Amino acid sequence: MLIKLNKLIEREKIAFHKEKPDPSSLGFGKYFTDYMFVMDYEEGIGWHHPRIAPYAPLTLDPSASVFHYGQAVFEGLKAYRTEDGRVLLFRPDQNIKRLNRSCERMSMPPLDEELVLEALTQLVELEKDWVPKEKGTSLYIRPFVIATEPSLGVKASKSYTFMIVLSPVGSYYGDQMKPVRIYVEDEYVRAVNGGVGSAKTSGNYAASLQAQRKANELGYDQVLWLDAIEKKYAEEVGSMNIFFVINGEAVTPALSGSILSGVTRASAIELIRSWGIPVREEKISIDEIYSASVRGELTEVFGTGTAAVVTPVGELNIHGKTVIVGDGQIGDISKKLYETITDIQLGKVKGPFNWTVEV
């Protein structure tokens, strides 16, 4: 179905293959495969010269715009190895669409979505041997765009580079899922309406590091961000969207403009609804969450994201008060959601929505 871009995507040969890392020590984003995809943009020419090239350092002028004015957007998705050896992608079209929404917000030129999907597919196909098969492992795919114009004027860059790099990654959980402890952050904020919180842009991540460190120092795994205006409404967790199960209904913060529109979030909403469980997308105050927990109605909290799929939350620190969720155990919906999504990703079941694309 894809337009074949063999003529467009040239392929330079590597001199030798890297040794593949031990699957048990993959970690996250530490190892990279032999090849990468690269494409350039110049004002007046547009996107041009799509190519698969040996993975190699970038050479940029010290005045390149990305170093000074931060025009940089990215995506993250994974290729999964099925039991019978096929390689599947999970909803890559959604990531590519979001990449273009991020580009638009950051005044960066949009990409041809079909070409990006084709590039991504060709690159993964070429690097198929790098998709690990051990439980919980996958090949992480990182498309990104950076501004490259060598100029210190504060303005949108006139040149960009789009790249896709691949990294075999380990199981997020090790041997088994473990509920995380979350600190509800009420000093620092991540984003605000009218800002760039819904774009997957580099600056949002740099801005989050100080609060993450504070949470770690206090003994928590991650931060739950509140809205910047009233510091009252739940937004998202570190690198995940967040869901609360209250009285048998799931509720997740509405996409208000300051929240990242997660692909796993959207998938979770569709799946949970397909099981007959209501899902509400709305403003949720952290005080409501606390009250629900006091009344014994808060039965599950979990995060969703590409890295960990579904992460159960066992404990919340809300303004200094500790809330233990579901006795600190993994809830039924979290567990079923994790298993269903990973079964779809690994090709064990097809699922109701046709979400996987075979490479």
Q: Pick from 202, 256, 285, 329 the residue near its own copies by CB under 8 A.
A: 202
Of 256, 216, 217, 250, nearest in space to 236 by CA:
256
Q: Is 298 in the site for its own copies (CB under 8 A)?
A: no
Q: Is 142 in the site for its own copies (CB under 8 A)?
A: yes
Q: Binding mask 230-259 vs its own copies (x if CB under 8 A, - otherwise)?
A: -x------xx--------------------
- Count other C-beta atoms under 10 Å from residue 358's C-beta: 10
Angle between helices 92-105 and 113-126 (to 10 degrees): 130
Applying the rule CB under 8 A, the residues between 6 and 25 that interact with its own copies are none
Q: Is 349 in the site for its own copies (CB under 8 A)?
A: no
CB contact at 8 A, 11 and 51: yes
As measured in angstroms, the least distance from the Cβ of 185 to its own copies is 9
- Amino acid, res. 176: Q
Beta-carbon contacts of residue 319 (< 8 Å; ≥ 6 apart): 184, 186, 286
Q: Is 165 in the site for its own copies (CB under 8 A)?
A: yes
**Residue with tokens 């979990």, as numbered in its chain:** 302
Q: Pick from 35, 41, 69, 244 the residue near its own copies by CB under 8 A.
A: 69
Q: Is 32 in the site for its own copies (CB under 8 A)?
A: yes
Q: Is 228 in the site for its own copies (CB under 8 A)?
A: yes
d(CA 316, CA 215): 11
Of 70, 158, 76, nearest in space to 109 by CA:
158
d(CA 324, CA 331): 12
d(CA 348, CA 292): 37
- Amino acid, res. 22: D
**Total chain residues near its own copies (CB under 8 A):** 66
Q: Is 120 in the site for its own copies (CB under 8 A)?
A: no
Q: Pick from 46, 110, 153, 174 the residue near its own copies by CB under 8 A.
A: 153
> Cβ closer to its own copies: 11 or 105?
105
Q: Enumerate binding residues for its own copies (CB under 8 A).
A: 27-30, 32, 36, 55, 57-64, 66-72, 74, 105-107, 140, 142, 144, 146, 151-156, 163, 165, 167, 187-196, 201-210, 212-213, 228-229, 231, 238-239
